[in-house]
Structures are given as C-alpha cells and as structure tokens.
Amino acid sequence: MFRVARPAVLAVLTCALGACSSEQSVAPAPRSAKDVPDFPNDPSGFVAQIDNPYLHFAQGRVFIYQSQTPDGVETDSVQVTSLTKTILGIAATVVHDKVYLNGSLTEDTFDWYAQDTLGNVWYLGEDSKQIQNGVVVGTEGSWEAGVDTARAGIIMLARPKNGIQYQQEFAAGVAEDNAKVLNLTSNVVVAYGSFTGCLKTEEWSPLEPGAREQKFYKAGVGLLLTVQPKGGGVQEELTTIVN
C-alpha cells in the first residue's frame, strides 16, 4: 500500500522528530520467482489470526505514526479491529487506518489482510476515502481482490530474504504496488525506541513513476519508519503502540 508522502521540509535520513536509520551495506542476492509464494487457491489455506512478527497485528492493537509536513503535523492511527470481511471466501482481518492533519481527519481507510498457513500476509484490498472539511471528496485507491480482475498481493513475507521482489496489490490503473527486500540488518531510531536488525524494504508503483518509499520493520514490534529516499519526502515514524 504505497502512499506518496507530501513534500517535506526535512531531508530524508536525517534525524527529524528523532527518527533516523542506518544499515550495513548488503548487496541483495538475486532471487527467482520460486522464492515468491503463490496465493492459496482455497480459503482453507488461511488462518484466523495475523501473527507474522514483522506486522504484529494482534486484535485491538493500535499503532500511532507521526510526520512533519509543510502543512503541519500528520498523524496516522492504524487499528487492528476484531472485524472481518469475506473476500474470495477468506475471512480477512479489517484494519482501520485514519490520517489526521493538525487534528482534522483527511483519510479514512479500511484495509483487508489475511495470513496463509505458512505465515505470509496477503493484502486483499481497501475501502479508502479522502476527506476535506468533514466531507468525503474521493475514494482514490479503493479496490477488492476478485472484483474487476483485481488480485491479492503480499504485504509481508513469512521469511523475508535479501533481493526478493513481489507484488503487493494489483487493480489495473488503481493499485499496482510492488516491493523488494533490501536487507534485514538495518538500525532504526524513532520516537518509540531504538532497534537493530530491522527489515528494510522498498516500495514503488508504475502509477507513480520515479517515486519510492523505504520501510523499516522490527520483528515483534511492526512497522517503525517510512521514508522517501529521494526528493526530501516526509518521514513517518512510530510514536506509540496501544495494547
């Protein structure tokens, strides 16, 4: 779920809001398509809970992220609900993602995820609304696997390895995100804490040529930091985990 951040007043990979990262230089080894898992053809290939340690999506858990933009402070609240949505016969977990700018709601999204029996977490779509002054002004980015040829993608591998590249979602002209594992040795400092041995990925979409996002995850914690390596993009860092 690649989201191009607003232009930032801060340089990427400086310690803005206390967030910074460093990593050992590791050349990713080439990986074949055999390293990328196939989408299970039957709902029985999925489990009820999402316990992949790099996402840490326990029911009821809320992750709070913050970034500084030219327009002010943006806060992103990501809540793992107890709700499910049936997609392709799979009971997908509903994650409620709300973005605020200076306290005003600007995006309201329900994301749908499911974990297979091997531990890979699949992204099955989203219902996204853009909001301005309390009014819904758009639904850009909304899609659902199985509708109009849209396909599920991998949001997190069970066993990430350097160099593996995978599609995160596919809805033609709407959502065509890809990701690649860069390393598993990054060091990250955010408001929530300091971490070593973190997973680093890069995301991009052909719908946003030239744009990139790098994300850092810590097993047992979840997503720590999102940055744009080019163009001075916003850094979004983890500040709080509730429950």
Angle at CA of residue 129, ends 123 and 131, nearest 5°: 145
Kindly report the number of other CB atoms within 10 A of residue 110's CB atom: 18
For all residues of the chain together, what is the average pLDDT? 89
Domain 20-27+45-242 has CATH 3.30.70: no
Q: Which residue has the tokens 């500084």?
A: 68
How sure is the predictor about 129, in pLDDT bands with cuts at 50, 70 and 90? very high
Higher pLDDT, 242 or 232: 242
Residue range 63-76: mean pLDDT, rounded = 95
Residue 90 has pLDDT above 50, yes or no: yes
> For residue 232, what pLDDT band results from cuts at 50, 70 and 90?
low
User: Is 32 a residue whose pLDDT tops 70?
Assistant: no
The predicted-structure confidence for 166-202, as pLDDT tens digits, reads as follows: 999 999 999 999 999 999 999 999 999 999 999 999 9
CA dihedral (169, 106, 77, 159) in degrees, to 10, reads 20
Neighbours of 172 (CB within 10 A): 12
Provide the pLDDT confidence category of residue 27 given band limits of 50, 70 and 90: very low
Residue 3 pLDDT grade (very low, low, confident, very high; cuts 50, 70, 90): low
- Cβ-based burial of 127 (10 A; exposed 0-12, middle 13-18, buried ≥19): middle
pLDDT confidence band for 75 (50 / 70 / 90): very high
Helix (H) or strand (E) holding 209: none
Whether 39 shows a pLDDT value over 50: the answer reads: yes
Single-letter residue type at 88: L
Q: Report which of residues 206 and 4 the model is more confident about.
A: 206
Tens digit of pLDDT for each residue in 187-197? 999 999 999 99
63-93 in b/e burial notation, b at 16+ Cβ within 10 A?
bbbbbbbeeeebbbbbbbeeeebebbebbbb
Q: Is 80 exceeded by the pLDDT of residue 223?
A: yes
pLDDT for res 70: 87
What pTM, to 2 d.p., does this model score? 0.88
